[in-house]
Each structure stands twice: as structure tokens, then as C-alpha cells.
């Protein structure tokens, strides 16, 4: 696992690195940064490319165990590295859910066997994600979880969520909330607004997210818990997170590419690839998310990769499941849609996700594990869902033109994905 990456623009925002130089990798670790020459190590000229700490998608559904026809840990791992991610955090809503150390251990051993990407399991907050009693959190931490969440569902019981925030502090793990008041959202299939009224579909009001974020921020404040908001989608929620951070609270938040790219207008043809939860919102919400990305209110971009078998997404809109795939389009969409400084871009995809989750950090420093993403910000390409490494095809971005792409993904010094064009 030796490699010399030459002449790349090396960016590591957590360590104030932004310089054109060489990266020498020996035995899967970064040996040195700086001009290097060597005869006996393979070389790669990265002139004009960005060499960054490997990207980490902290919100991914791998579907194994239980729904392997939609995705496996192996196929999801292949989609991850094809999208530029060296690592993913796997949400626990599998069948059975990851609510015990035995499931956590199974995911980790299967990942070592079949996934080219690193996989960090997220444990369920509550047993079977039923929202009734806390799961075996301490034992799952010993087995290797990087955080807890009941994603797919919120923890409706405020008393239980408060205890989760308190308990998780013992282990320094984040508590990741899918913010949705189930009473307010009940029966809804898309954003509640003019489009849902016109299409005759039941809406999910922005208030379903806002009221849950509001409650949680109060609980995070009184517990000093390590709280993370998954997939922010509304203006008011962004504004509440901004205010809480201004008051000094150590909370974090993520956004998905589809929420800052599309609006509820995408549902117009009853396209089930525009059905997700939280739903695509209004243009005003999209504007607020982009403001939150630019001013640092939002810490991370995560795909919420949610593969579903084609048979399910072919159901009529009311009955189809929520969610789209996203691992292979996240980086391209973010580079194309957002005009972010590159250091901020790398922070949102790599160093911030690493500090949100409980993982051993990697980066562009001597001695780090050589987990690296190489970007070509100028590469023009078109996403073809039929070429996807995922087992599922439920993406609304088929045929989209993008500018900017991950062209190499390196895990422990090994090039696990390469697209030199």
C-alpha cells in the first residue's frame, strides 16, 4: 500500500493545510507531506486536482441485514467509493435493527469482508426502534458504534430522548435525531403547500420538523448532550440551529444534496423518485438551507442514501416508500450546485463529519491512515443511474450534467476507486 501522489492541491481544513505538494504513502499511512522523489514507489501526478482527507458520508442506509435485494454492505460500499467516500456511517433501521452488540459486530465483520469503504455502524437509540426503552447502548459502543439514532423515525418520547442525550455523554457519541413530529406528519407523503394541494396529496407540514428541532434544542441545552440534527429541510429549523450555535451550544446539523437542489415542484408528475422524508420543500426553504451552508450553520453534507427495489418505487405515489439513492451523486451535486470555497467544501464532506461521529480522525498529516479522496473540480460528467454500483436505481438525478467529480478514492493507502477520465 505504497503510493506517491504528486503536485496535487492538498487541502485539510482541520489542520489549516492548503498547498500544492506531494503526499507520500507507505504501508497504508501518510509518511510525509512535501516534495518527494522515489524510484521504487508507484506515482500519480495529481496536477490540477484536489487531494483531501477521505470523504465520510454520515447518513447511509445499507439495508443489510434484512433487505439485501435493495442493497448489501458490499454493494453500498462499492457505491460509496465510486462517489468518493472512504467511509460511511450506517443507519440502524435494518431488519432486525442494529440495537444490540451482536448486530453491530455482524455489520463490522461483513464490512471487513465485502466493503471497500470503511463502515461505521450507528446503533439504535431504542430497542427495535420502537421508541419505548433505550437499547444496549454501552454494549454497542464496546462493539464499535460511532453514534446512535432511530433514523427513519424520531424519538417522540421527550423523557426517553432526554435520557439518551444524558447517557450518550458517557461515551462521547452523538445522538442523531430524525426530526419529525409523527402526529403532525401523519399520513403525509410530500411537503404541505400549494403543490400538495394541487396534486391532491396529503402534506407533511414544515412544522413537523420545526417543533421537534425546537423541543430537542431545549433538551440538548439542559443536558449539554452531543446533539446532531439529521437532514435539515426547513427555513425555521435552520434558523433555530443558527441561534442555538450563536448561544454557544455544541450542536451540529447536516443537509442532503436533494434538499438543497430540488423543491416540491419535482413531485409534479407523481415521480416516486421525488418522494423522501423529510420531503422536498419550498424554494424559500432551499434558499435557507443554502444560506445555512454558506454561513456555517450546517456542518455537513450527507446523502441519506436510501436504496429501494424498483418494484416498490413503481407503486403509486401514496404507497411507494420514502427515499432515494445518493452516494454517487452527492459530491457532484454539491460541487455543481454550491459555489463553496474548496476548503469549506472539504470540511463539510470530511473533517466535520469526522468530528461529529466518534471515529479515529484521519487527515493530511504524517502518521494518519491514508484515507484520501482526490477531486477533479473541472471534470464534466453525466450521472447514469444504470451504471450505478448500488443495487437500486431510485435516483431523481439520472441524466444530470455535473461539474466536478471524485476521481480517486484511497482507503488505507489502497486505491479502491479510480476514474482518470
Give the shortest CB-175-to-Zn ion separation in angstroms: 14
Q: Choose the binding region for Zn ion from 21-29, 170-178, 380-388, 406-414 (rule: CB under 5 A).
A: 170-178
Q: What is the DSSP letter of 186?
A: T
Give the shortest CB-18-to-Zn ion separation in angstroms: 34
Alpha carbons 308 and 311: distance in angstroms, whole number: 8
Residue pair 189/204 in contact (Cβ under 8 Å)? The answer is yes
Give yes or no: 304 in active site.
Answer: yes
Alpha carbons 296 and 293: distance in angstroms, whole number: 5
Distances (CA, A) of 11 to 2, 340, 374, 377: 20, 14, 10, 13
Pairing between β-strand 372-382 and β-strand 50-53 as defined by DSSP bridges: antiparallel
Give the shortest CB-322-to-Zn ion separation in angstroms: 9
Distances (CA, A) of 6 to 43, 330, 408: 7, 26, 14
Other beta carbons within 10 angstroms of residue 337's beta carbon come to: 18
Please report whether residue 57 would count as binding Zn ion according to CB under 5 A: no
Site for Zn ion in 145-164 (CB under 5 A): 151
Give the shortest CB-178-to-Zn ion separation in angstroms: 4
- Cα-flanking dihedrals φ and ψ of residue 152, to 5°? 100, -35
In the complex with Zn ion, the residue whose CB is nearer, 163 or 178, is 178
Residue pair 289/259 in contact (Cβ under 8 Å)? The answer is yes
Give the shortest CB-223-to-Zn ion separation in angstroms: 22
Q: For residue 354, give the nearest of 297, 300, 292, 290 by alpha carbon.
A: 300
Residue pair 29/46 in contact (Cβ under 8 Å)? The answer is no
4-35 as b/e: b if 16+ CB within 10 A: bbbbbbbbbbbeebbeebbbbbbebbbbebee
Site for Zn ion in 97-156 (CB under 5 A): 151
Residue pair 209/237 in contact (Cβ under 8 Å)? The answer is yes
In the complex with Zn ion, the residue whose CB is nearer, 151 or 299, is 151
280-293 as b/e: b if 16+ CB within 10 A: bbbeebbebbbebb
Interface mask toward Zn ion for 177-196; x: CB under 5 A? -x------------------
In the complex with Zn ion, the residue whose CB is nearer, 92 or 101, is 92
Q: Which of 304, 318, 376, 419 is catalytic?
A: 304
Interface mask toward Zn ion for 209-248; x: CB under 5 A? ----------------------------------------
In the complex with Zn ion, the residue whose CB is nearer, 101 or 279, is 279
In the complex with Zn ion, the residue whose CB is nearer, 151 or 181, is 151
Name the burial class of residue 107, with classes exposed (0-12), middle (13-18) and buried (19+) by CB atoms within 10 angstroms of its CB: buried
Classify 248 as helix, strand or coil: coil
In the complex with Zn ion, the residue whose CB is nearer, 13 or 131, is 131
In the complex with Zn ion, the residue whose CB is nearer, 116 or 307, is 307
Residue nearest to Zn ion as judged by C-beta position: 178
Give the shortest CB-179-to-Zn ion separation in angstroms: 8
Give the shortest CB-278-to-Zn ion separation in angstroms: 7
In the complex with Zn ion, the residue whose CB is nearer, 187 or 399, is 187
Alpha carbons 300 and 302: distance in angstroms, whole number: 6
Give the shortest CB-258-to-Zn ion separation in angstroms: 12
CA dihedral 188, 258, 268, 152 (to 10 degrees): -20
Alpha carbons 344 and 335: distance in angstroms, whole number: 11
Q: How far apart are the first and last CA of the chain?
A: 23
CA 11 to chain centre: 20
Q: Choose the binding region for Zn ion from 112-120, 176-184, 198-206, 387-395 (rule: CB under 5 A).
A: 176-184
Q: Choose the binding region for Zn ion from 35-43, 175-183, 194-202, 336-344 (rule: CB under 5 A).
A: 175-183
- Contacting positions for Zn ion (CB under 5 A): 151, 178
Q: Which residues are catalytic?
A: 304
Amino acid at each position: 500500500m505504497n503510493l506517491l501522489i504528486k503536485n496535487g492541491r492538498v487541502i485539510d481544513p482541520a489542520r489549516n493545510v492548503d498547498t500544492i505538494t506531494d503526499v507520500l504513502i507507505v504501508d497504508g499511512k501518510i509518511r510525509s507531506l512535501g516534495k518527494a522523489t522515489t524510484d521504487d514507489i508507484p506515482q500519480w501526478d495529481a496536477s490540477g486536482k484536489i487531494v483531501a482527507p477521505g470523504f465520510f458520508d454520515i447518513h447511509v442506509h445499507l439495508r443489510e441485514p434484512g433487505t439485501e435485494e435493495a442493497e448489501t454492505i458490499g454493494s453500498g460500499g462499492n457505491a460509496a467509493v465510486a462517489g468518493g467516500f472512504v467511509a460511511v456511517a450506517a443507519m440502524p433501521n435494518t431488519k432486525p435493527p442494529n440495537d444490540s452488540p451482536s448486530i453491530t459486530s455482524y455489520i463490522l465483520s461483513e464490512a471487513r469482508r465485502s466493503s471497500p469503504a470503511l463502515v461505521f455502524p450507528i446503533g439504535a437509540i431504542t430497542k427495535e426502534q420502537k421508541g419505548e426503552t433505550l437499547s444496549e447502548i454501552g454494549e454497542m459502543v464496546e462493539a464499535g458504534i460511532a453514534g446512535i439514532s432511530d433514523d427513519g423515525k424520531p424519538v417522540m418520547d421527550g423523557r426517553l430522548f432526554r435520557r439518551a442525550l444524558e447517557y450518550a455523554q458517557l461515551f462521547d457519541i452523538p445522538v442523531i435525531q430524525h426530526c419529525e413530529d409523527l402526529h403532525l406528519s401523519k399520513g403525509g407523503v410530500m411537503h404541505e403547500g400549494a403543490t400538495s394541494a394541487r396534486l391532491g396529496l396529503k402534506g407533511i407540514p414544515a412544522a413537523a420538523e420545526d417543533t421537534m428541532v425546537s423541543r430537542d434544542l431545549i433538551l440538548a441545552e439542559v443536558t449539554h448532550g452531543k446533539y446532531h440534527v439529521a437532514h435539515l429541510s426547513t427555513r425555521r429549523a435552520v434558523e433555530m440551529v443558527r441561534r442555538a450555535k450563536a448561544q454557544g451550544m455544541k450542536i451540529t446539523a447536516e443537509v442532503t444534496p436533494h434538499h438543497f437542489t430540488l423543491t416540491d415542484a419535482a413531485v409534479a408528475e407523481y415521480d416516486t423518485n421525488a418522494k423522501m422524508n423529510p420531503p422536498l420543500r419550498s424554494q424559500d426553504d432551499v434558499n435557507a438551507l443554502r444560506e445555512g451552508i454558506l454561513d456555517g450553520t450546517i456542518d455537513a453534507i450527507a446523502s441519506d442514501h436510501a436504496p429501494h427495489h424498483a418494484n416498490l418505487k413503481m407503486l403509486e405515489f401514496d404507497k411507494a416508500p420514502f427515499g432515494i439513492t445518493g452516494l454517487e451523486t452527492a459530491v457532484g451535486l454539491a460541487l455543481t450546485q454550491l459555489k463553496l470555497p474548496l476548503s469549506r467544501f472539504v470540511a463539510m464532506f470530511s473533517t466535520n463529519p469526522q468530528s461529529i461521529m466518534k471515529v479515529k480522525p484521519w487527515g493530511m498529516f504524517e502518521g494518519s491512515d491514508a484515507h484520501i479522496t482526490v477531486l477533479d473540480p473541472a471534470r464534466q460528467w453525466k450521472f447514469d443511474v444504470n451504471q450505478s454500483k448500488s443495487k437500486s436505481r431510485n435516483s431523481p438525478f439520472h441524466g444530470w450534467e455535473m461539474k466536478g467529480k471524485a476521481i480517486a478514492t484511497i482507503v488505507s493507502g489502497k486505491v479502491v476507486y479510480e476514474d482518470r477520465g
